[in-house]
Amino acid sequence: MKPVIAVSGLRKTYGSGETAVHALRGVDLQVWPGEYVAIMGASGSGKSTLLNMLGCLDTPTSGRYLLDGFSVADLNERQLALLRNRKIGFIFQSFNLVPRTSALSNVELPMVYSGLKRGERRRRALAALEMVGLTDRAKHLPNELSGGQQQRVAVARALVGGPAMLLADEPTGNLDHASTVDVLGVFDRLNALGRTVVVITHEDEVARHAHRVVRVSDGQIVSDEVRAGVVA
């Protein structure tokens, strides 16, 4: 079995000379299929830069990154975009839903240019909504859904392409406590079904749901802890 994420000696430097900013300083990290990992760090720790590297949104200055076995450094912009679309399901703090489009149609959006027929797109979108418990809200517009429900639609949209991992960036940052519990419960269930989940967060409440907590400081991983007591 190969890791979903295999990072070695990852460095990212912005600028040069005395004004250079060393955002990542030789990061080594592996994430295996089915893991649930929280990556934590304070503002300026390098957490966001690491997110951009793992999400193929930026390229490292040096080091090696294999995403589901593919070497990111060897790809051009078009290939990187394809890799992102096929291997990563992104979930952001803001839900990024199309306002006047139903939940079902929002989930279908990533497949519009895939060549799939409409019926197959609809079937897959409904299956993804079922996984997050929103089949009964499929025809609702985003403004007819709670914040937690909107984020669950975003999770379904991230799932619909069958990515190697879900990469969530502060996914509960815009949610109240009840909605946070709701969304974290979805992550728990998806991981229990074998989905690989990587969450970038500064919230202990979120990290407590992960099986493994990686802490970043000053551009380096300072701890990597497998947790025994995990919130269920």
SS (H, E, C) the chain: CCCCEEEEEEEEEECCHHHCEEEEEEEEEEECCCCEEEEECCCCCCHHHHHHHHCCCCCCCEEEEEECCEEHHHCCHHHHHHHHHHHEEEECCCCCCCCCCCHHHHHHHHHCCCCCCHHHHHHHHHHHHHHCCCHHHCCCCHHHCCHHHHHHHHHHHHHCCCCCEEEEECCCCCCCHHHHHHHHHHHHHHHHCCCCEEEEECCHHHHCCCCEEEEEECCEEEEEEECCCCCC
Which range (115-119, 194-198, 206-210) has the least confidence? 115-119
The predicted pLDDT at position 24 comes to 95
pLDDT at 231 over 60: no
Average model confidence (pLDDT) across the chain? 92
Q: Which of 148, 147, 149 minimizes the C-alpha distance to 103?
A: 149
The pLDDT value recorded for residue 75 is 86
- Identify the bridge partners of residue 199 per DSSP, sorted by sequence position: 38, 168
Q: Is the pLDDT of residue 229 over 70?
A: no
Q: Cα–Cα distance between 156 and 159 in angstroms, integer?
A: 5
pLDDT of residue 228: 66
Q: Give phi and psi for 29, each to the nearest 5.
A: -155, 140
**Does residue 168 surpass a pLDDT of 70?**
yes
Residues pairing with 216 in the sheet: 221
Q: pLDDT tens, 117-167?
A: 999 999 999 999 999 999 999 999 999 999 999 999 999 999 998 999 999
Residue 92 structure tokens: 């952001």
Q: Indicate the pTM of the whole model.
A: 0.91
**pLDDT by residue (tens digit) across 7-19?**
999 999 998 888 8
Whole-number percent of the chain with pLDDT over 90: 77
- Using the predicted structure, report yes or no on whether residue 210 has a pLDDT greater than 70: yes
16 to 19, 50, 58, 178: CA distances (angstroms): 6, 20, 18, 46
Which of the pair, 59 or 24, is modelled with greater confidence?
Answer: 24
Q: Residue 43's pLDDT is what? A: 86
Q: What is the pLDDT of residue 34?
A: 96
Amino acid 114: pLDDT? 78
Residue 129 CA to its chain's centroid (Å): 17
